[in-house]
Structure 1
Amino acid sequence: MEPYLRSVSRVTATVSKPQQIAARAVDVTKHYGMGEAQVAALRGVNVEILGGEFTAIMGPSGSGKSTLMHCLAGLDHVTSGEVYVGDAQVNGMSDKELTKLRRGHIGFIFQQFNLIPTLTAEENILLPLKIAGGTPSKDWFDRVIDTVGLAGRLRHRPTELSGGQQQRVACARALMAQPDVIFADEPTGNLDSTSGAEVLKFLQHSARSLGQTIVMVTHDPVAAAYSDRVIFLADGQIVDEITEPTAEAVLAMMGKIDAQARVA
């Protein structure tokens, strides 16, 4: 068993979580296209992401879940409304300001690992922080590496690592700069069930033990059940949410949303 998996088994929900708002959307709309071809991906979305929580975003295909995450992360521009990361208003920022915000305050984990094949695991983990001109303290570096269970793999290149290990490198890279919020877009989409569970346990542990704020888009009820809260979208609007979710409760809610869509 990996070191971080042993530590996760001891984690409880007793860790004090700050309740400041890490990110929020205020009456956000997002349109693609023009005229009759225009599509409304988001329709007046209001949502608050609480600091220190692991939030999952779910919904049917085309519901706007990835669009919402991209708008919250400053990867896509909103058509109207306001987006904040902490106290910083994201919409209206220049490209330079957005780059600075993403480097210093936002972490990303994607379905594709996006590792540089010529660099070692350690070099991949430290690269964004190095580009930003920063270095982690030794204590923080050791804590992150111990958490993801990669101490014995730091000198290995991506081709020498399993898919689960590569995604854990990507997770460590996102966490190393201690961002205000980490956005994860289908982070287990390219992994088998065992490797996917390892990554999800790491994300859960990061929120519960390290106080990291995480927002994850997923289509998988089992993956969503690792979160503290699940937000459901349909047709570009938030239609419901569940706290302390189980896979069964998430699946039932998705079934309800699908049934309502068929009736409509």
Structure 2
Amino acid sequence: MTITAHPPVRVAVAARAVDVWKVYGSGEAQVVALRGVSMEVAAGRFTAIMGPSGSGKSTLMHCLAGLDAVTRGEVHIGDTKLTGLGDAGLTKLRREQVGFIFQQFNLLPTLTAEENILLPLAIAGRKPDREWFRTVIDTVGLGDRLGHRPSQLSGGQQQRVACARALVSRPEVVFADEPTGNLDSRSGAEVLSFLRSSVREHGQTIVMVTHDPTAASYADRVVFLADGRIVNELTEPTPQKVLDAMQSLDRVAADTAGAES
């Protein structure tokens, strides 16, 4: 009997960093935020990035998203190489291929929820796909709040508006920087459930920076940074597994500091 060997299935990659270094300042004031980081973000998956304060997690996300230029190395979004793109190219990429969700909701107070959601498309001169818009609104659960302005919405509702705004243009990848940092636990759980359902039901790719083990447990994969390097990762995370991993990093950092003193 002949056995045919099949090649491994190649998972599509939405974003990747290749030997990325990020250095701020020079001389005695120099700070090395990232030290040769290489990672791939699988398409259609929810990836969380964690690490102690100063580990480089937000810097990594900003470099992956094209918000900050790398000192050395390469960054790709889909088939587009960000490294070397000019301002016009980066602006076009961020507008068409990337979505952003920040801790601060960044909603315009004079616009309604619907107008805030559709604003990036309006700026780009693109008409919304009404069927997809309705799908996003149904997923985020804001159908009865579209005519409300931000001041008429709770914090959780405002963040869900920001999430819908990030998704409505169908970006290649959505980057979320501490998206539940300003929310109470219930509102935070609502936002995280929405992000997870956007991945599982609609194939969205999400990269989230967080310090919260519970928030990280909503992800498919958690990548841990320390001192600008990737030092660990978890798949199928639970809050306890994430907490244990973070405590392990803290112990290593404390031991290192003690050895150097």
Match of 1:174 among 163, 166, 170: 166
Match of 2:110 among 92, 112, 118: 118
Which amino acid is the alignment partner of residue 216 of structure 1? M
**In 1: Cα distance, 2:127 partner to 2:95 partner:** 13
Residue 14 of structure 1: aligned partner: none
1:159 lines up with 2:151 in the alignment: yes
**In 2: Cα distance, 1:188 partner to 1:119 partner:** 22
**In 1: Cα distance, 2:128 partner to 2:46 partner:** 23
Gaps of 5+ in 1: 1-17
Match of 1:229 among 215, 221, 226: 221
Q: How does 1:47-86 map to 2 (within 5 A)?
A: 47-86=39-78
C-alpha displacement at 1:19, in angstroms?
2.5
Residue 137 of structure 1: aligned partner: 129
Secondary structure of 2:122 counterpart: helix
Which amino acid is the alignment partner of residue 146 of structure 1? D
Q: Is the 8 A contact 1:19 1:52 kept in 2?
A: no
Residue 238 of structure 1: aligned partner: 230
Residue 259 of structure 1: aligned partner: 251
Which amino acid is the alignment partner of residue 168 of structure 1? R
**In 1: Cα distance, 2:169 partner to 2:215 partner:** 25
Match of 1:191 among 175, 183, 188: 183
Match of 1:201 among 193, 197, 201: 193
Gaps of 5+ in 2: 1-9, 257-261
Residue deviations 1:28-69 (CA, integer Å, cap 9, x gap): 000011111101000000000000000000000000000000
Q: Which structure has the greater CA radius of gyration?
A: 2
Q: How does 1:86-97 map to 2 (within 5 A)?
A: 86-97=78-89
Q: Is the 8 A contact 1:42 1:67 kept in 2?
A: yes
Residue deviations 1:1-28 (CA, integer Å, cap 9, x gap): xxxxxxxxxxxxxxxxx93100000000
Residue deviations 1:189-222 (CA, integer Å, cap 9, x gap): 0000000000000000011111000000000000
Residue 3 of structure 1: aligned partner: none
**In 2: Cα distance, 1:93 partner to 1:156 partner:** 39
**In 2: Cα distance, 1:49 partner to 1:75 partner:** 17
Secondary structure of 2:148 counterpart: coil
Which amino acid is the alignment partner of residue 234 of structure 1? A
- Superposed CA RMSD in Å reads 0.7
Secondary structure of 1:114 counterpart: coil
Which amino acid is the alignment partner of residue 55 of structure 1? T
1:42 lines up with 2:31 in the alignment: no
**In 2: Cα distance, 1:114 partner to 1:258 partner:** 33
Which amino acid is the alignment partner of residue 259 of structure 1? R
Residue 108 of structure 1: aligned partner: 100
Equivalent pairs, count? 247
**In 2: Cα distance, 1:87 partner to 1:244 partner:** 28
Give 4+ residue runs of structure 1 displaced > 4 Å after superposition.
none
Q: Is the 8 A contact 1:107 1:181 kept in 2?
A: yes
Residue 6 of structure 2: aligned partner: none
Matched-pair identity in % = 70
Secondary structure of 1:77 counterpart: coil
C-alpha displacement at 1:181, in angstroms?
0.1
**In 2: Cα distance, 1:138 partner to 1:104 partner:** 17
Using structure 2 for the length normalisation, give the TM-score.
Answer: 0.94
